[in-house]
Amino acid sequence: MGNTKKSDNKSRRQFFSLFAGKDKSAKPEMVKMLTPDGKLVEVEKSVFEAAANRQKATKQDIYNWMKNPSKDSNL
């Protein structure tokens, strides 16, 4: 009753992987970038795009974040 055909088992896995969605053997798209110390690295494109679309801090956010004696209302 056991399966002795390995090729048949492999083709079934390939067939069912079509319905599973993402192909695990496919590599994500990579982008080459330089680090501040001059090394070349590869980063996933999705990570790069998420960092590029991040909202930058405003001057008011920085002012509220830092410890400044002029902000104390007790003086």
Spans of all domains in the chain: 27-68
Residue 6's Cβ-side half-sphere holds a number of Cα atoms within 13 Å equal to 0
Read off the pLDDT of residues 10-43 as tens digits, 9 standing for 90 and up: 677 777 667 766 556 678 899 999 999 999 999 9
Predicted structure pTM score: 0.39
Task: Name the β-bridge partners of 41.
Answer: 33
Q: Who has greater pLDDT, 1 or 42?
A: 42
Q: Is 28 helix (H, G, I), strand (E, B) or coil?
A: coil
Provide the mean pLDDT of the chain: 77
Percentage of the chain exceeding pLDDT 70: 63
What per-residue confidence (pLDDT) applies to 51? 83
Mean pLDDT, residues 39-55 taken together: 88
